[in-house]
Structure 1
């Protein structure tokens, strides 16, 4: 339920200087180029390699200016937009050219007089007074400051009194500190209630740290007696510079009634989940961003028949996850890739799984997942379209319990299936593909989806089959503040005997204020 983070990429003018130096008269033969001031910048920047291009050339005014421009481009491309390269007065008859790199630093970071006053700059903004002005620090800070739809943030860089110094002037405004959202969909199961609804209450920036808190409650809608479900989620996140910390706690209950020999039997279950996450932006530039994500989790679940607990179904697990994600803008397209490793541990009272005694599963799973999504616009028949293709694969070095297995069949994996029955095993993959037509109706689009998935590894031999293929035709958009997605799906390929509806219709409605 957390909103996707804002993406800020500040552009700089592109340059296309030729690396060939012009033939000039007069010119001076240069055998050595000295760069002063490089200690003010990261050591991995290729200033020396660029400067060496001018050695063993006869350089005049244009050639020296071209070399300075090439070094200046390196500064700008790496975000140091206020730093400069200068050539001091010198005698070039020594065949040595000296260039000085002047660091552009931040004098003050301040807000405009019209900005709101309920915000702390130190925590969300990684740029610091007295440090190098790095455009990437400013991008990250703006992303942190405008995490919410209730906030608008803008930035200007203005010259200070001293050469090489600049002020960062922020204009930050928050319209209100709260939001509410409600949803209605048919994502539930027949046994616990097909129709689901819920309400979410958001607090944006409650501690003036660009932090976020929300409480979400959901349940089944108009289910018959003897079945139902309820879920609650608490979430809090806090950015600090290039870091983000968050904690999520959730609780889920369900009830279903099945026919017994002499009377109805009530089957009930409940589960709790707690996850603490920490992420760090490792690298970012104008086109790419790479993040490292870590998580520690604890999960517990219990099931009951007529208020008597089923001991063999009790689960108490814990562990950690480590992930690396990368976002890359390629022209008008966006590539998002991620790899995640999960390791179960005997932490926080975690207990062995009953399957461990038969070597049919473990509460200490070792799971690796790979995912990639490519999305972008395109034009077909003079009409605006967009596409999205997603790939997800799971592999495991250990036998898994049902909770950790890879499943396909349903609106979140392979569309066209009602989700009442799935294929599940230790390993698997799926590909989801969409073509979206932006209709002449503002904010309305028609899309076609084609999905395919397979499962394999332990547990797959006992299945009816190992693959599913399906498609869906849908309409999504926004009308008077209500976002919606309506679709109809059909299975294209499934194993013999795999029971599912021949046509599956579904909807999602979401409103936020």
Structure 2
């Protein structure tokens, strides 16, 4: 509510007020409530007018998240014509686990919540703590606000509703691999919560071809950890991948192999949040070190070490039933950590590049009669100001961009993609058995992506389009998906099947 106006009632007994004083409102700047207080100066001020001003001040606090703060008028002598309004700014008395069943440790609570005892109790700070705890899949956090041990304070009681164990192994298999290194890929994962006792989240993985014929193989492993501290979140990741394959042509065979190291550190700070909107800023550093060989000879043009600095922002908002998100970033190649690339000459690819990225998404649940629908729109894009090495280019073709293209695609320094997907529920089975209950659903999707043409390069351009349909089955321990994608548009040099079938299954142990 606008604190500069307040409803004034004209009925009832009235008193003369020549001055109004506001006490205890230390959170806001002096003069914030001057407009609303001015309505109480007069020869006949009713109790209704005073109540209206109290509501206006209290509503301003509540709107800004201070849900236990309130404005009151205590006993006082108004013969002097001076009315004193006192604001009781509710304080946080403490954060405690409710203590029933599974619970959160004191270290987890201290790391997740930015609020400390003695602070003004603000719902936004509590929501931030709930979000930080919610990153751990072991439980769904809930909070209750109870009266504190001293007047004017409140105690926040935290409850963990168990969802999963703190350690969660899983195995999965899919046919999204490349023909040159192995179509079927098997992945073993291990997710863990709070190994350090500070609401930290960990994920480790090992991926490789489901079969090894001695000539074609790929291997990847790595990990990710997220460390919260109130409004801040530090994310660290590292990985290694390698491959080997054989190229054949004109009766000749060439053995190829390669390996890649990656590492990244990202620091995120939540700078604004209210009941519907969240805004955070991010900064990070990423390392990519890759080397490729043919017949044991290093390919200098595709062997490099690139270090990238990133600054970005992430915005989220709930608009009616739609959840909106927007992320943007600026990336710059840096000369740190022994970064180096081959000299590709004037106009060639560079590791000291500049790039702008943008990701946007909108998800809307719909109900048409008995049908449950979800419409998802995803937009991705980047603008490269320099010629880029393959790892930094915008690539199209695959399950995450344009489905229906797997072993071939297009890429460039500048491009964009759009996905429009309509999901629908089909049936829920075995609902009476929690561990066996399974939800069957499907989706129809349209994918499109394009690369901005560059003069002098006949292959850095083009448009990919596809239509796809999929079925998904999800239970507590099994997730499976089957997709058929039909390419619609592609440049003449892009090889693709008439229809591409993809399947995956993940089992949580």
With structure 1 as the length reference, what TM-score do the two structures score? 0.89
Instruction: Report the counterpart of residue 428 of structure 2 in structure 1.
Output: 441
Whole-angstrom distance in 1 between the partners of 2:448 and 2:30: 44
Instruction: Report the counterpart of residue 87 of structure 1 in structure 2.
Output: 73
**SS of equivalent residue, structure 2 residue 234:** strand
Any idea what the Cα deviations from partners look like across 1:115-163, whole Å, max 9, x if unmatched?
A: 6474413222211111111111211222223322223433222212432
**CA deviation after TM superposition for structure 1 residue 100, in Å:** 1.2
> For 1:300, which of 275, 286, 289 is the aligned residue?
289
Whole-angstrom distance in 1 between the partners of 2:475 and 2:30: 51
Whole-angstrom distance in 1 between the partners of 2:369 and 2:154: 49
Whole-angstrom distance in 2 between the partners of 1:24 and 1:478: 62
Cα 1:24/1:72, change in 2 over 3 Å: same
> For 2:277, which of 277, 284, 288 is the aligned residue?
288
Q: For 1:369-408, what aligned pairs fall within 5 Å after superposition?
A: 369-380=357-368, 382-408=370-396
Any idea what the Cα deviations from partners look like across 1:217-251, whole Å, max 9, x if unmatched?
A: 00011254411111011222211111111210100
**SS of equivalent residue, structure 1 residue 123:** helix
CA-based RMSD of the aligned residues comes to 2.6
> For 1:249, which of 238, 241, 261 is the aligned residue?
238
- 2:434 is the alignment partner of 1:411: no
Whole-angstrom distance in 1 between the partners of 2:56 and 2:256: 71
With structure 2 as the length reference, what TM-score do the two structures score? 0.90
> For 1:358, which of 338, 346, 350 is the aligned residue?
346
Whole-angstrom distance in 2 between the partners of 1:52 and 1:354: 71
Q: Is the 8 A contact 1:375 1:389 kept in 2?
A: yes
- 2:455 is the alignment partner of 1:467: no
Cα 1:50/1:195, change in 2 over 3 Å: farther
Task: For structure 1, list consecutive stretches of 5 or more residues without a partner in the other structure.
Answer: 1-13
Q: Is the 8 A contact 1:344 1:364 kept in 2?
A: yes
Instruction: Report the counterpart of residue 104 of structure 1 in structure 2.
Output: 90
Instruction: Report the counterpart of residue 489 of structure 2 in structure 1.
Output: 493
Cα 1:214/1:57, change in 2 over 3 Å: farther
Q: Is the 8 A contact 1:124 1:239 kept in 2?
A: yes
Any idea what the Cα deviations from partners look like across 1:258-294, whole Å, max 9, x if unmatched?
A: 1255652111010000101111111111111111111
Whole-angstrom distance in 1 between the partners of 2:152 and 2:460: 70
Q: Greater shift after overlay, 463-472 or 187-196?
A: 463-472
Cα 1:464/1:203, change in 2 over 3 Å: closer
**SS of equivalent residue, structure 1 residue 419:** coil
**CA deviation after TM superposition for structure 1 residue 465, in Å:** 5.1
Cα 1:255/1:151, change in 2 over 3 Å: same
**CA deviation after TM superposition for structure 1 residue 72, in Å:** 1.1
Count matched residues.
495
Q: For 1:65-80, what aligned pairs fall within 5 Å after superposition?
A: 65-80=51-66
Cα 1:90/1:464, change in 2 over 3 Å: closer
- 2:176 is the alignment partner of 1:187: yes
Instruction: Report the counterpart of residue 328 of structure 2 in structure 1.
Output: 339
- 2:159 is the alignment partner of 1:171: yes
Q: Is the 8 A contact 2:6 2:36 kept in 1?
A: no
Task: For structure 2, list consecutive stretches of 5 or more residues without a partner in the other structure.
Answer: 430-438
Q: Is the 8 A contact 1:464 1:495 kept in 2?
A: no
